[in-house]
Each structure stands twice: as C-alpha cells, then as structure tokens.
Structure 1
C-alpha cells in the first residue's frame, strides 16, 4: 500500500525567528576605493539598461563628493567602507553653505555666490542614497551611511515658470528670419511652445518623426525620458515651419542628421541653445529665458485655453499627475483672468 505523507508544521512556540535588522552590521572582506565602488555600481546599472545620461549624472554627482572628501577626509577616498553618516551630513552643509553653483561644470559660468539650491542638493543626495544602498546590499560596506539622512527642507518654491505673453512677443519679434540661426531658433521655440516637448526631445528630433498628413510628431521610446513612446499633435502652421526649415537645411548640408543643425552642419545642442537664449535675455532685458521655459509655457497655456490636465499629463510624458500639477505655474494675472471668467458671483450680478 502506498501511503501519502503530509508534511507537518513544526511548532513555533518557544522558537526565536531571526530576521536581519534594517541596518545590521555585515562584515566586509575586501576594501574598495570610491572609484572602484563607483565602477562596480556603474557596471551593474549599465547591465540594467539605464540611459547613458543617467550614468553620466551618477559619475558627475560622485565626483562632487570625492572632491569634498579629498580635501577634508582623504582616507575615505581609499576605503568607501569608512564613509559615515557624519561625513554625509558634513558634505550636505558644505553644499548648502560653501559650494559655488556650476563650479567646474562644462558650458556653464560659475556663479559668484556660495551655496547650492535645495533641489540641487536633494538630487545629489538621492544619487548617493541609491549608491550606498547598492554598496550595502553587495556587502561592499558594513553599514549604510545614508540611513537616517533626510532630504534638505526648503521654503515653498515655485517650479520653473513659463513666459508671460508680452515676453513671448518680445522674443519672437527680436528674431530675424533672414538669418539662418535665428530662423532655426524661431522654429525650435514654436515647436516646443506647440507640443511641450522636452528640450532634448525637440533638439534631436528627426524629420522621420513627423507625420505631416496627420499632423503629429512621434517621440520614440528610446528617446522619451519614461521609455514610453508617444504621439503629440502639432498645428499645421508649426508643421509647415518645420518642413520649410528642413528643406532649407537640406540645401545647405545635404541630408541633415536631424531637423535642428548649427551653421556648420553639425547637430544643434542644448548647450548652444541655452547660450543663445542667455544672450537674448540680456539683449531684451528679461529676468529669465532658458529652454525649459517654453515647455512650461505650453503646459500653463494649455490649461488656461481649456485643455484638461489628464491629456496634458500624457502629452508631457509625466508618470505621476502630481508632477503635472507642480509643473503648471499660474501667474497672478492668470488667476485673476480665470477668476473673472468663471466666478459664480458674476452670473447673479448681471441679472
């Protein structure tokens, strides 16, 4: 006779079930320099398929920490396991009080003041938190120095503001269509103002991404920040401008690599665009003018003109609608205009 055996549960009364504590000390057998630890981390993230720009940011952010440690705690450079929470907090205070904005940054002028913006500091801390968690999980460090380190708090701040109507007019009126560079800038600005494309998405767009019959531009997944392709409608006027610019560029340089090229037949870059806007800002006496402002202006105007926030979220490629809400900054004039238009009191006052 074949008997069926059923496994019985062992009694748990009186037995201690051990689970590792959140930050339990673990023994490290090998000593890694910060550079070696960074290389292992980068290899793992590349294997996960992270974008090259994200990898570049990881390298850049850890270089800031290494620079600080080399000057203040050089022993930590040779042994990442000796990095402590106190070192991290000292580094935070250095970023808040002593670090100069854009120091050592390519294509950006160093600002003559000390202390970085809170948002910038928190971005660097998020990178360090990701790295330290990886190093701890891989048993490269005994304790995670980022445990207990909280983001830096700040007073309520506005996101990037868009452009006021009068400033949009100033910008476009200042451009001379007879000059190739200014005509190209004008088309780029209109494209971003019409579609809400990110600066990098707009600058690197290729003519094959446009459907001039159905009037939309395709942002493929390999370009999109959230790795999801999307089709964004464009107006016929802007579509015509894009096609005219491409045909003109083609006459000069043959088949161009992308729609927006510089005067030497090379791809027009975000850094070059930012510099040109900065010069225009000074010439027109504007407080701010940089690439992302056209995307933010699109977002604000889209809602003010009657668009809904859920469609806007899809167009802007935001994973979380909370990001879309933060993205839209209404001016006092916008709020006043909307109030005058929709206040329920006006309906009864007109009787």
Structure 2
C-alpha cells in the first residue's frame, strides 16, 4: 500500500466517523508536510510499511529546522500517532512506528485571553466595516457563547432560538448541544438578520454570510478579525476564535459559573479539558490571597 492509499483510507475513516472539515485539514497538513520532507531528500521509505520511529524523528527534526514552533511540532506528532495507531489497529501496518515517538515539551506560557475591554474596542471597530451589524454580532456571539470557529460558520438561522435564549450548535464529532446566549448578543443577531443579511439565493441557510451572500469561510472570518484587531490597535493573535473561547470560559467562571456547566456549554468530552481554564484566573487568585494570606495574618 502506498502512502497516498493509506492516507485516503484514513480520510475515509474520518469521514465515516463524521469528523469535521477542520479535523480533516489538521491531518492533511501532516500529510503534505511528509510529502515535502520526502521531496527535500528526507529519509522516508517509499512505503509506509517500512517506516520506523527513527524516520519519524528525522521528520520532526526537519520540521524544527524549518522554523516550526513547538506547538506546531506537537500537533504533527499528535497527528502521526493518531494516523499510525489507526493503521496498526486496522492491520494495515504490521507495527505502529509512532508508539515510541516523543511529544515535544510545550512552553508553559499563558495563551492570550479575550476580555470585556478588548471586546468593547472590537465592537467600536466593527462600526467602521462594510457590514457593521454582522461583524458586531460575530464578536458578541464568540464572546457570549464560547463556540468554536467551525460551529459559528455552520450556524443556521433556524439554530437561533431567541424564545429560549439558546443556540443549537453542531460540534466536534457531529454532536449536537444547546448553548445559552445572552440578550445583547441575540439583539445583535436579530438586527443583522433584519437589516443586513442578504442571501444570494433562498437555499443559503447559514446565519453569517459574506458580502457575496454566501456562507462565511475560515479565511473570511480570519480576515475580518485581522481588520478589527488592526482598527482596535492590538495584535491579531489576541482575536483568534479560541481567544474568545478562553475569554468566555474565564468570564463564566469569574461570574460564578461552575466547571460542570461550563463543560456542557463548551462541548468538552472530559472535565479535565474544562478545568484548564481555571489557570487563567490570575486576578481572582490574587484577590483570594489578599483575603486569606497566611503571611498577612501572622
């Protein structure tokens, strides 16, 4: 079996499991990187059956030499482990060459988190765009619900249920969940639908549309956030969809929400994934220390 044959079998498996386009794109990135490694003269056997852990380590080292950051290296290792682990379980390969492939250590730096002050600046920046009502609705929906980019892009008009104050969201693995949304965000969505949303044809059911009247794409949302962040005066990395997601989680916990409810809203499969957001509550930890500091109580 050739490399391309094995990858196509894996993509078929992912589609059968109803994995999202984002997940497929994640694995295709590793597929393409392996091809570039081989074309550059890397030590990669012509058949996946001949691969061992030394070949994979050489690939990761090559990626590092190309300037890929630790987070990117870690993502490729995860991709390789999932790919080869699946091939071994399906008995398409005699062994799993990634079993002893080490994951790079990630730096312990905090990732950027959205906060109400920045959201205010983004909303002011949205007033200067070609579609101010849509752009304000997108910013508020991201910050008020914590939904993922793919989930926002696939929202349909019928998924907005103002009478219940919720959104119907289709998340990873094609799993449906109900996500609460506040009055301000719902009002922004309603204003956009009444005054600005113009579908190219009646068959376009998605909520957020581009100027052409078709559903927004990943690149379209990315360009929008780049424009808004530039207008608001801060770096693009501070307006990624996951920055909003982290910001929503932090504000939810800060305002008295519990991690069990947050887990359901975010669509996490395990509580451990949700508990990571507790580490972003710096100011709250500081305030608690001021109240209960053992040293100050001496």
The answer, yes or no, to whether TM exceeds 0.5 is yes
Match of 1:152 among 92, 104, 115: 104
1:58 aligns with 2:27: yes
Instruction: Tell me the equivalent position of 2:154.
Output: 204
Instruction: Tell me the equivalent position of 1:310.
Output: 260
Summarize deviations over 1:58-107 as a string: whole Å, max 9, x none: 2331221121022224762x3222222211111111122x22xxxxxxxx
Q: Answer yes or no: is the 8 Å Cα contact 1:300–1:329 preserved in 2.
A: no
Q: Secondary structure at the match of 1:151?
A: coil
Deviation at 1:226, TM superposition (A): 4.5
More helix by share: 2
Deviation at 1:282, TM superposition (A): 3.0
Change beyond 3 A, Cα 1:46–1:208: closer
Summarize deviations over 1:235-268 as a string: whole Å, max 9, x none: 2232122122112235675655322111121112
Deviation at 1:300, TM superposition (A): 0.5
Change beyond 3 A, Cα 1:328–1:79: same
Q: Secondary structure at the match of 1:232?
A: strand
Mapped partners of 1:251, 1:276: distance in 2 = 18
1:248 aligns with 2:195: yes
Q: Secondary structure at the match of 2:239?
A: coil
1:294 aligns with 2:244: yes
Summarize deviations over 1:98-130 as a string: whole Å, max 9, x none: 22xxxxxxxxxxxxxx232x2322222222123
Q: Secondary structure at the match of 1:230?
A: strand
| Aligned length, in residue pairs | 293
Mapped partners of 2:180, 2:91: distance in 1 = 50
Gapped regions of structure 2 (runs ≥ 5) = none
Mapped partners of 2:201, 2:281: distance in 1 = 45
Q: Answer yes or no: is the 8 Å Cα contact 2:44–2:55 preserved in 1.
A: no
Change beyond 3 A, Cα 1:88–1:189: same
Summarize deviations over 1:21-54 as a string: whole Å, max 9, x none: xxxxxxxxxxx22112222333344444444443
Q: Answer yes or no: is the 8 Å Cα contact 2:49–2:93 preserved in 1.
A: yes
Select the structure of larger CA radius of gyration.
1
Give the alignment's TM-score, normalised by structure 2: 0.86
Deviation at 1:345, TM superposition (A): 6.6
Deviation at 1:328, TM superposition (A): 4.6
Match of 2:184 among 228, 237, 244: 237
Instruction: Tell me the equivalent position of 1:324.
Output: 274
Q: Secondary structure at the match of 2:114?
A: coil
Mapped partners of 1:89, 1:140: distance in 2 = 22
Mapped partners of 1:173, 1:247: distance in 2 = 21
Task: Tell me the C-alpha RMSD between the 2 structures.
Answer: 2.8
Q: Secondary structure at the match of 1:174?
A: helix
Q: Answer yes or no: is the 8 Å Cα contact 2:166–2:178 preserved in 1.
A: yes
Q: Secondary structure at the match of 2:9?
A: helix
Instruction: Tell me the equivalent position of 2:229.
Output: 281
Q: Secondary structure at the match of 1:217?
A: strand
Instruction: Tell me the equivalent position of 1:270.
Output: 218
Match of 1:176 among 113, 127, 132: 127
Match of 1:69 among 31, 38, 41: 38
Mapped partners of 1:310, 1:225: distance in 2 = 19
Summarize deviations over 1:287-336 as a string: whole Å, max 9, x none: 33222222211110111111111111111111111111223552644433
Mapped partners of 2:92, 2:167: distance in 1 = 46
Deviation at 1:339, TM superposition (A): 4.5
Give the alignment's TM-score, normalised by structure 1: 0.74
Which aligned pairs between 1:111-126 and structure 2 lie closer than 5 A?
Answer: 114-116=67-69, 118-126=70-78
